[in-house]
Amino acid sequence: MKIEPAEHIKSISEYYFSVKLAEVARMNAQGKDVISLGVGAPDRMPSDETIRTLCETARRPDVHAYQPYTGIPELRRAYAQWYGKMYQVELAEEEVLPLIGSKEGILHISMTFLNFGDGVLVPDPGYPTYRSVSNLLRAQVIPYDLLEDNNWEPDFEALEKMDLSNVKLMWINYPNMPTGANASVELFEKLVDFGRRHDIVICHDNPYSFILNDQPMSILSVPGAKDICIELNSLSKSHNMSGWRMGMLASNPQFVKWVLKAKSNIDSGQFKPMQLAAVAALSNPDEWHAAMNATYAERRVWAEKIMDLLQCSYDKRQVGLFVWGRLRADAPDSKIFIDDILYSARVFITPGAIFGDNGVRFIRISLGSSAEKLEEAYQRIKKYVG
């Protein structure tokens, strides 16, 4: 048979966690009871008000039809008010577009701005979807280095030496995943200036602002940033709603309209009760977020103990949902290292290699499991390493 998939499908691999979590599931089915510290998926519930709103509104007879492609007005207003409160960024309704998760937004933005062969600046290490979506659209992936000795920030001198004539998009992500590095006003100002001078759309992926981070920031707070920047955000991590797929993007009205052209041809809106519940979630009191961060702080203690046990070095100033650590000098590369832990201690840790060449010597531990599970993982690894 001569049927073959498209070349862009041949150019990508199945998402790492899709493959690895299936392996973990098989191990669990065999009774091996693997503790997963891999995926950054919160294990706690959304707020009570969020759940109550979903349940109550789902019983109404007028909420089960198709919804606007732009999201309901109440949700756009809530996102705009949230940005004003949390980031001190003023957004009009037409500058906000709700999404079925920010991961889908990466595809929508890429489809909107990239022609065949256009260049895309992708961080290394960085979220694998930036690269895979670019490959799906047959764009030219141009990696740029994020290095530990430069605080995981772009090297602008190196960027300026690149051939940028064909580059249309640049993906950035702070607080950074996987490294936990935070941004600064100065970094965002440099990025806005870089994008403006080279006519490159700066796409900032910003889902980790409120986890163990005292200084949540938006790149849109930089004067003039809306002219050249798009920011993605999400309720997945910050509001314990990863399975709900509630995300958004913010930018100038023209960019939003262009992205809407792509989005409206792909999905048919989101279930209205979920949108109304998201409105409720965006009004969570500060105390709710403080309680979640107290939980993550307790978990982080055990994640760092695991890093110490594995003789990994790490920056205690990291923020976000993970702890990122450098392997000891004599350890094998991260994929071999984590497989040894998985098969011998029955603990799954994410290898840094999946995030790019600059992640090969690193591993990442998620704070998405309870402190009790993290402590148990510590004891299993301690028993194995002796």
- Please tell me the distance from the alpha carbon of residue 80 to that of residue 360, in angstroms, as a whole number: 39
**173 plus 241 within the same structural domain:** yes
Mean pLDDT of 374-385: 95
Share above pLDDT 90 across residues of the chain, in percent, rounded to a whole number: 90
Residues 40 and 150 in one domain: no
Residue 229 and residue 220: Cα distance in Å, rounded? 7
Mean per-residue pLDDT of the chain: 95
Q: Is the preceding peptide bond at 178 cis, omega within 30 degrees of 0?
A: yes
Strand pairing category for 35-37 and 347-351: parallel
| 358 lies in the same domain as 271 | no
Residue 386 pLDDT level (bands cut at 50, 70, 90): confident
Mean pLDDT of 35-62: 94
The answer to whether position 186 is within a domain reads yes
pLDDT the model gives residue 39: 84
- Do the domain assignments include residue 56? no
Residue 58 lies in a domain: no
Please state, as a whole number, how many other Cβ atoms lie within 10 Å of the Cβ of residue 25.
Answer: 12
- Give the domain-ending residue among 217, 247, 281: 281
Q: In which order are the strands placed within the sheet that holds 96-99?
A: 96-99, 247-250, 229-234, 201-205, 167-172, 119-124, 140-145
Per-residue confidence at 6, pLDDT binned at 50, 70, 90? confident
Per-residue model confidence (pLDDT) at position 18:
85
Q: What is the pLDDT of residue 36?
A: 94
- Residue 51: inside a domain, yes or no? no
State residue 235's pLDDT score.
97
105 and 28, same structural domain? no
Q: Domain for residue 53, yes or no?
A: no
Shared domain check, 272 and 168: yes
Full-prediction pTM beyond 0.75? yes
Question: Number of structural domains, the chain?
Answer: 2
If asked whether residues 95 and 222 sit together in one domain, one would say yes
The enclosing domain of 16 has a CATH number of 3.90.1150.10
Model confidence at 19, pLDDT cuts 50, 70, 90, reads: confident
Please check the confidence at residue 1 and state whether its pLDDT lies above 80.
Answer: no
Is there a domain that residue 100 lies in? yes
Q: How far apart are CA 329 and CA 42, in angstroms?
A: 32
Sign of CA dihedral 211, 212, 214, 215: negative
Judged by average pLDDT, the poorest of 38-42, 89-93, 190-194, 219-223 is 38-42
Residues in the chain: 386
| Whether pLDDT at 70 is above 90 | yes
- The kind and range of the H/E element at 241 are none
Amino acid at 191: L
pLDDT at 26: 94
Task: Specify whether 349 is located in the same domain as 253.
Answer: no
Q: In this structure, are 268 and 142 located in the same domain? A: yes
Residues 327, 273 within the same domain: no
* Range 298-305 average pLDDT: 98
Pairing between strand 201-205 and 229-234?
A: parallel
Verify that 221 and 343 share a domain, yes or no: no
Query: Does 92 share its domain with 176?
Result: yes
Q: What is the largest CA-CA distance in the chain?
A: 63
Closest CA to 178 of 133, 226, 130: 130
Domain coverage including residue 220: 63-281
- CA dist 155 and 303 (Å) reads 30
Return the residue matching tokens 């595809």: 107
10 Å Cβ neighbour count for 386? 4
- pLDDT class for 12, splitting at 50, 70, 90? confident
Asked whether the beta carbons of 384 and 344 are under 8 A apart, the reply is yes
What letter does residue 114 receive in the DSSP assignment?
P
Could you give phi then psi for residue 67, rounded to 5 degrees? Answer: -115, 165
What is the pLDDT, as a whole number, of residue 41? 85
State pLDDT tens for residues 83-139.
999 999 999 999 999 999 889 999 999 999 999 999 999 999 999 999 999 999 999
CATH number at 227 reads 3.40.640.10
DSSP H helical ranges for the chain = 7-10, 16-29, 48-58, 73-87, 102-113, 128-136, 156-160, 185-198, 253-264, 272-281, 286-309, 334-345, 371-385
Whole-number Å distance between alpha carbons of 132 and 5: 16
326 sits in which H/E element: strand 322-326
Structure tokens at 172: 């950035």
The DSSP 8-state label assigned to residue 209 in this structure reads T
Instruction: Count the neighbouring beta carbons within 10 Å of the beta carbon of residue 127.
Output: 22
**pLDDT band at residue 48 under the 50/70/90 scheme:** very high
Tell me if 209 is assigned to some domain: yes
Q: Are residues 234 and 366 in the same domain?
A: no
Instruction: Find all residues with CB under 8 Å of 117, minimum gap 6, and list them.
Output: 138, 139, 140, 166
- Calculate mean pLDDT across residues 256-266: 96
Residue 364 lies inside a defined structural domain of this protein:
yes
225, 259, 281 — which closes off a domain?
A: 281
Give the C-alpha separation, 386 to 375, whole Å.
16
Among 219, 254, 281, give the residue marking a domain's end.
281
